[in-house]
A and B are shown apart, each in its own frame.
Chain A
Amino acid sequence: DAGVIQSPRHEVTEMGQEVTLRCKPISGHDYLFWYRQTMMRGLELLIYFNNNVPIDDSGMPEDRFSAKMPNASFSTLKIQPSEPRDSAVYFCASSLRRGGADTQYFGPGTRLTVL
């Protein structure tokens, strides 16, 4: 079975440009998470969805960041305008709620570099 798919794997852009990261969760999973990983701040949860509805976006750093999940098989994380401090690896993860300690399955990540 295909795991979580993220695209692009690498993105280099210039400050001020719009960046869109994409994620396809594992089929049948009802939760989707967006994380950001940096050396300074480690792994941070940005936002997560349940059945395509945003549940907690308290980790989104500022209004320049937005995330959508138009259907069960696709989500986007958009940064507009991008800044050099947004450079990081962004991970998407998905899980299926069975109650208790549900496993999150991570994609390979998108390495974003903002010049």
Chain B
Amino acid sequence: AQSVTQLGSHVSVSEGALVLLRCNYSSSVPPYLFWYVQYPNQGLQLLLKYTSAATLVKGINGFEAEFKKSETSFHLTKPSAHMSDAAEYFCAVSLGFQKLVFGTGTRLLVSP
């Protein structure tokens, strides 16, 4: 069965520092993988998704993620954090038939 594991429920960075949010997946078939962001009191919004077209995926707001099959990982990165990046980030894997399974989320805190 497909699943995702997000390491670290909270990640703190300083403004301007590198952001790295970790996601590892488990899948018996080539997966579709997603990163969603949730700002306070809002619904989830798609950041980017992996569809097997390219291993390095670029998303909105300067985020990108790299699919590494050998490491079963899909970590999210951003070179320079901004205060507005403070939010909760969810990794998800598609089970097919439109169904997604979400990780437990990582809250990103950005300090001045």
- A interface vs B, CB < 8 Å? 4, 31, 33, 42-43, 45, 48, 50, 55-56, 91, 93, 95, 97, 100-109
Are B102 and A101 in touch, CB under 8 angstroms? Answer: no
Chain B nearest CB from A9 CB (Å) reads 9
Are B42 and A104 in touch, CB under 8 angstroms? Answer: no
Complex CA–CA separation, A42 to B92 (angstroms):
12
- B interface vs A, CB < 8 Å? 32-34, 36, 41-46, 49-51, 90, 94, 97-105
Q: Report whether over half of chain B's contact residues are helix, strand or loop; otherwise say mixed.
A: strand
From A106, which residue of chain B is reached at the shortest CB distance?
A: B43
Q: Report whether over half of chain A's contact residues are helix, strand or loop; otherwise say mixed.
A: strand
Partner pick for A100 among B45, B51, B102, CB 8 A cutoff: B51
Partner pick for A42 among B36, B45, B46, B104, CB 8 A cutoff: B104
Are B42 and A108 in touch, CB under 8 angstroms? Answer: yes
Chain A nearest CB from B90 CB (Å) reads 7
Q: Which residues on the B side are within 8 Å of A104 (C-beta)?
A: 44, 46, 98, 100
Q: Which residues on the A side are within 8 Å of B101 (C-beta)?
A: 45
Are B98 and A95 in touch, CB under 8 angstroms? Answer: yes
Are B43 and A101 in touch, CB under 8 angstroms? Answer: no
Complex CA–CA separation, A58 to B32 (angstroms):
22
Are B32 and A100 in touch, CB under 8 angstroms? Answer: yes
